[in-house]
Amino acid sequence: MKIQVITLFPEMFEGVFNASMLWKAQKDTDVELATVNLRDFGLGPRKTVDDAPYGGGDGMLLMIEPLMNAVNAAKEADPKAKVLLMTPRGDTWRQSVAKQYADAGNGLIIICGRYEGYDERITSVVDQQISIGNYVLTGGEIPAMAVVDSVVRLLPGVLGGETSAEVESFVEDDETVEAPQYTRPAEYNGMEVPEVLLSGNHAEIAQWRAKNAKR
């Protein structure tokens, strides 16, 4: 799967794409992560990407031409890719949606909004608008990182244990989170690990975990 992120700040992705699971996924599987610098599609000698909104209002908007040209370039590299737009106005990102995109296996083109927003006409080429929650970030970069991470870890061959993505939070119904977990030592500064987890009784442990999973 190829994931292309359209952004004015490609340098923000260097750390995230080159560490831990995302780095390993690129090394060991067919996952390809790339950034597309929106500035390269800016207009005129100053590579302008933004302009004031019609009708007035605060701030600047990303212009339609650089955005559309960047999407077209990304589509050329991966014609079947689905286009996602990061915006607080989008559908809330959830585990089940991440799973749908991972299972579908199409590449993704992720557009990061910036400034006060973007020319709405870009939505004509967007398959889904995505929000990562009801709060406003300065741009779509951090949301895009969350989306990339949550999809890639569900792709075949990415996680170490075969079942690690099956026995974790939100898998069953987008609501239930895993029970608390503990590792050695069994007692730390007077804080003890629940007795049942030390018992070796798998049925009882499963029962305890089910009871302590939280909706």
CA dist., res. 42 & res. 67, Å (int): 9
Write the CB contacts of 44 (distance below 8 Å, at least 6 apart in sequence). none
DSSP H helices in the chain: 12-17, 20-28, 64-77, 95-104, 141-152, 195-198, 202-212
Rounded-to-integer distance, Cα 85 and Cα 112, Å: 6
Give whichever of 134 and 163 is closer to ligand ADE, judged by the CB atom.
134
**Which stretches of the chain bind ligand ADE, using CB under 6 A?**
86-88, 113, 131-133, 135-137, 140, 143
Nearer to ligand ADE, 152 or 158 (CB): 152
Rounded to 5°, angle at Cα 168 from 166 and 89: 105
In the complex, the smallest distance separating the C-beta of residue 188 from ligand ADE, rounded to whole angstroms, is 37
State phi, psi for 46 to the nearest 5 degrees.
Answer: -95, 5
